[in-house]
Structure 1
């Protein structure tokens, strides 16, 4: 498999107390926290390209745009779908959408990642 637009992944999650803004410190309400939503969207982007990366390669996040449009209380089921929309050398651009069981759009956005050599990246990070 090669890195090309159209690669996709979906993640289905149920909002737990540990996922809430009140618990992660990004607010004081018991609904899905924006940082937690972003982490799930990033996980979907990682999964979308996992089988298409070469040996020793990984991808790292470089840029995010996220619109959090609807609250998701504890117990709500949210599905995050990510699709690779652009490949420009090492730069990968993904679009994502999160929806609840009622098909309400919870969030939309884009995530950019860069393909890197895992060992070289880790050795530079350790400096």
Structure 2
């Protein structure tokens, strides 16, 4: 594995009813749910790592810091961008930011650890 800071990825979504706090159960308003936003940010980190990991390796999330700053209603387009900012052995730190056409709606960091997929699954299923 030869990962270095600067690795990036972006996702663009349109908020749909299935993405809302009301639908997910994290609130009772029809806006982008914080858990959904987090899942999208994590998806972007996995996408960024894409072909960068060695065969047999994967990454798992271990720590998240998220500030959800503004509501995004159904129909809003939200872009989630991530950047690998720190590599400490197997520990990877990503910064992320989510924006709509008006403002930053969320930002934070996601930490992932690179693991051997087979060993990880063997430990998880015992």
TM-score after normalising by structure 1 = 0.97
Q: Which residue of 1 aligns with 2:86?
A: 86
Tell me whether 1:23 sits opposite 2:23 in the alignment.
Answer: yes
Give the equivalent residue in structure 1 for 2:51.
51
The count of aligned residue pairs is: 126
Q: Secondary structure at the match of 1:39?
A: helix
Partner of 1:71: 71
Q: Which residue is 2:33 aligned to? A: 33
Encode CA deviations 1:27-72: one digit per residue, 9 max, x unaligned. 0000000000000000011111111100100000000000000000
Please, which runs of 5 or more residues in structure 2 have no aligned partner? none
How much has 1:77 moved relative to structure 2? 0.2
Q: What displacement does 1:2 show?
A: 2.9
Contiguous gaps of at least 5 residues in structure 1: none
Q: Alignment RMSD, CA only?
A: 0.9
Corresponding residue number in structure 2 for 1:110:
109
**TM-score where L is the length of structure 2:** 0.98
